[in-house]
Copies of this chain bind each other. A is one copy, B any other.
């Protein structure tokens, strides 16, 4: 069958979003999909590459939309900088939108980070997008030294990852799997938090 590949992808997405990447064995996936173990390696090469495909098919549309929104704001702003808040909106709104339509997407994104899933995959699919947004933030916050901006982008990535993931380490009021509405609310809060953090004055240099 030509849809063996599709059946594997569907089963993998559901199971990995649900239980995590490490906790989901290929044997579990193939049982769910009703296919043979070797088929996974035939179609994808490895468990890691299977994950890679899952991410591509979900994330590329989001990243495209992010860049499109950013460009729209930049056209609006003419030669001036786009505000921090608008840059954040261009980055998070497409994610909120995608999350509202497909909760599995949300969970998968969260897993990717919280399980420390293969920095190479992240780099491959997100570096170009991050690079563009870094540039935009640099123009929005010209008083920040580049090193400090990079550090804050790390903080932003970390905060986002943790926000999006389901395994909470302090009580949040949300029990169990967060709904799409929870997700939306959390990301709105994140945007406010991040604009406060990004707009903070530069850290004074101290002698070590």
Contacts and interface: CB of A to CB of B under 8 A. Distances in A.
Interface of A: 20, 22, 114-116, 119, 122-123, 126-127, 130-131, 134, 146-148, 150-163, 167-173, 181, 184-186, 188-203, 206, 208
Report the copy number of this chain in the oligomer: 2
A204 to B, nearest CB: 8
A200 B206 CA distance: 26
Nearest to A20: B116
Contact of A152 (B134, B168, B189): B189
A157 B162 contact: yes
A199 B199 CA distance: 11
Contact of A199 (B114, B163, B196): B196
Contacts of A115: 115-116
A173 B153 CA distance: 13
A170 B154 contact: yes
Contacts of A154: 159, 162-163, 168-170, 172
